Amino acid sequence: MSRAKYNVLTINGGSSSIKFALYGVGATMQAALRGKIDRIGLSGTTFSFSDSFSYQQDSHGIEVADYSDAANFLLDWLAQKRDFSQISAVGHRVVHGMKHTEPEIISQSLLDDLRRYISFDPDHLPGEIDLIERFRTRYPQLPQVACFDTAFHQTLPRVAKLLPIPRRFDAMGIQRYGFHGLSYAFLMQALEQLAGKRVAQGRVILAHLGNGASLAAVRNGQSIDTSMGFTPSGGIPMGTRSGDLDPGVVEFMMQHEQLTTAQIKHLVNHESGLLGVSETSSDMRDLIKYESTDNRAAEAVELFCYQVKKHIGAYSAALSGLDTLVFAGGIGENAATVRARICSGLEFLGIEIEDQNNANNAEIISTKNSRVTVRVMHTDEELMLATTVCRVLNLAN
């Protein structure tokens, strides 16, 4: 296989990880290199990559103290592995851009705005901004494009965006934005390619279930509701995030333990969710492994499945029915027992699961008689980033 010219580098900065991919732009766009720095700032930080041309695999532990340290390591490693003169642009996943929703070339003005928004998303924006600035410092002439995770949900009807608080906050932009937009956009494109336009234009629920987790209701190819709200902390319980909470619970916790705003923010984002309920792990794989002997782990799994099931029911009502249910993300793609528990009891909606196909993580796990087609799909935020960069910069692909 001939070696393609590397054109687009994508950077997907999460709260505790940095994923990257390098794409050649041509008749087909394919990642020549993929990698991830995971568990940043924790003992046993791992770095892994794969080269699609040589099929080389590498995975090893590294010592990084924080996100900035990880960013420096990545830039140094990339400079050693690839000639940056061959890279045409860098695309960044930016989780929250408030009024910025459409992808745009990164400017100083945009960076200034993003800094003002840090308090709305303190888990993602600081690291994302840091990565952007480090690329600007080392490669000032290299175009960078911000791709906002909220873009997919701009079609939400007003009633789905509106929060039941005084209107003065609405005027400030406090509303439901929704996230995981890059993943959802990719899934909808992939669904149309796999099943045709008629299916993609039908009544679809997308369940992106991973350490961060959310659901979206899609009709006529457009998002009409989603579980995450003003920040990625809302919605269903996640690995370490609480999801939706009664405001009274937050007030009680703050008063009972004399917590500051910063401490409560850390509690609901880093000490809650699966980790908070199980008191042992935020990883669904661990919880499934130990739930038979640990009631706390069992309750964490049960709570997660119950909340996802509730949202599927609610979104089926918002859609006036359901044609397709898609599971994606690390849990959605790999945890057969979680999918089975979520779908159990939803037969009244027309959902019936074929056990063996589900156990095998098959592409379609619903039975032939199921009125709802239930799919397991791999999502690819990095590819969505690359195609978006090409569109914004008019690169041929």
Does residue 265 lie in a domain region?
yes
Based on the fold, state whether residues 121 and 208 are members of the same structural domain.
no
Based on the fold, state whether residues 287 and 194 are members of the same structural domain.
yes
Phi and psi at residue 26, in whole multiples of 5°? -165, -150
Question: Residue 2: pLDDT above 50?
Answer: no
Q: What is the pLDDT of residue 396?
A: 65
Q: Are the C-beta atoms of 308 and 342 separated by less than 8 Å? A: yes
Q: What is the pLDDT of residue 14?
A: 76
Based on the fold, state whether residues 68 and 131 are members of the same structural domain.
yes
Q: Which of 203, 237, 235 is nearest to 218 (CA)?
A: 203
Identify the band that residue 61 occupies on the pLDDT scale cut at 50, 70 and 90: confident
Based on the fold, state whether residues 126 and 187 are members of the same structural domain.
no
What is the residue-averaged pLDDT of the chain? 92
- How would you class 384 by CB atoms within 10 Å of its CB: exposed for 0-12, middle for 13-18, buried for 19 or more? buried
Q: What is the pLDDT of residues 164-196, one digit of tens each?
A: 999 999 998 999 999 999 999 999 999 999 999
Q: Annotated catalytic sites, by residue? A: 149
Based on the fold, state whether residues 248 and 293 are members of the same structural domain.
yes
Q: What is the pLDDT of residue 1?
A: 32
Based on the fold, state whether residues 322 and 190 are members of the same structural domain.
yes
What does the alpha-carbon distance between residue 110 and residue 133 come to, in Å, rounded to a whole number? 12
What does the alpha-carbon distance between residue 270 and residue 66 come to, in Å, rounded to a whole number? 16
Q: What is the pLDDT of residues 273-312, one digit of tens each?
A: 999 999 999 999 999 999 999 999 999 999 999 999 999 9
Question: Residue 236: pLDDT above 90?
Answer: yes
What does the alpha-carbon distance between residue 288 and residue 298 come to, in Å, rounded to a whole number? 7
What does the alpha-carbon distance between residue 70 and residue 62 come to, in Å, rounded to a whole number? 9
Lowest mean pLDDT, pick from 40-54, 202-216, 306-320: 40-54
Q: Which of 208, 270, 273 is nearest to 244 (CA)?
A: 273
The residue written with tokens 């840090």 in the block is: 118
∠ Cα 261 302 352 (to 5°): 130
Does residue 98 lie in a domain region?
yes
Strand order in the sheet with 104-105: 56-61, 46-51, 30-38, 17-24, 6-13, 89-94, 144-148, 104-105
Question: Residue 52: pLDDT above 70?
Answer: no
Strand order in the sheet with 203-209: 222-226, 213-219, 203-209, 324-328, 373-376
Give the rounded percent of residues in the chain with a pLDDT score beyond 90.
75
Based on the fold, state whether residues 253 and 372 are members of the same structural domain.
yes
Q: What is the pLDDT of residue 356?
A: 98
Q: 236 versus 35: which is more confidently predicted?
A: 236
The range of the structural domain enclosing residue 130 comes to 6-148
Based on the fold, state whether residues 109 and 244 are members of the same structural domain.
no
C-alpha R_g of the chain = 21
DSSP class of residue 3 equals P
Say how many C-beta atoms besides its own lie within 10 A of residue 308's C-beta: 27
Phi and psi at residue 192, in whole multiples of 5°? -65, -40
Does residue 394 lie in a domain region?
no
Question: Residue 6: pLDDT above 80?
Answer: no
Q: What is the pLDDT of residue 79?
A: 87
Question: Residue 55: pLDDT above 60?
Answer: no
Category of 77 on φ-ψ map: left (φ > 0), alpha (ψ -120 to 50) or beta = alpha
Question: Residue 71: pLDDT above 80?
Answer: yes
Give, for 24, the enclosing helix (H) or strand (E).
strand 17-24
Q: What is the pLDDT of residues 342-372, one digit of tens each?
A: 999 999 999 999 999 999 999 999 999 999 9
What does the alpha-carbon distance between residue 342 and residue 378 come to, in Å, rounded to a whole number? 19
Q: Are the C-beta atoms of 112 and 134 separated by less than 8 Å? A: no
Structure token digits, residue 382: 């990095």
Give the rounded percent of residues in the chain with a pLDDT score beyond 70.
94
Considering its fold, how many domains does the chain have in total? Answer: 2
Based on the fold, state whether residues 204 and 335 are members of the same structural domain.
yes
Based on the fold, state whether residues 191 and 266 are members of the same structural domain.
yes
Q: What is the DSSP string of 118-176?
A: GGG-TTTHHHHHHHHHHHHHH-TTS-EEEEETTGGGGG--HHHH--SS-HHHHHTT-S-
Based on the fold, state whether residues 248 and 122 are members of the same structural domain.
no
Q: How far is CA 210 from CA 38, 127, 186, 285, 384, in A?
A: 14, 20, 16, 11, 18
Based on the fold, state whether residues 143 and 185 are members of the same structural domain.
no
Does residue 164 lie in a domain region?
no
Does residue 112 lie in a domain region?
yes
What does the alpha-carbon distance between residue 242 and residue 234 come to, in Å, rounded to a whole number? 7
Q: What is the pLDDT of residue 66?
A: 85
Say how many C-beta atoms besides its own lie within 10 A of residue 340's C-beta: 15
Q: What is the pLDDT of residues 11-34, one digit of tens each?
A: 998 777 899 999 988 656 778 888
Does residue 389 lie in a domain region?
no
Q: What is the CATH number of the domain that holds 248?
A: 3.30.420.40
Lowest mean pLDDT, pick from 131-140, 217-226, 303-312: 131-140
Q: What is the pLDDT of residue 4?
A: 47
Question: Residue 205: pLDDT above 70?
Answer: yes
Question: Residue 218: pLDDT above 50?
Answer: yes
337 three-class SS:
helix
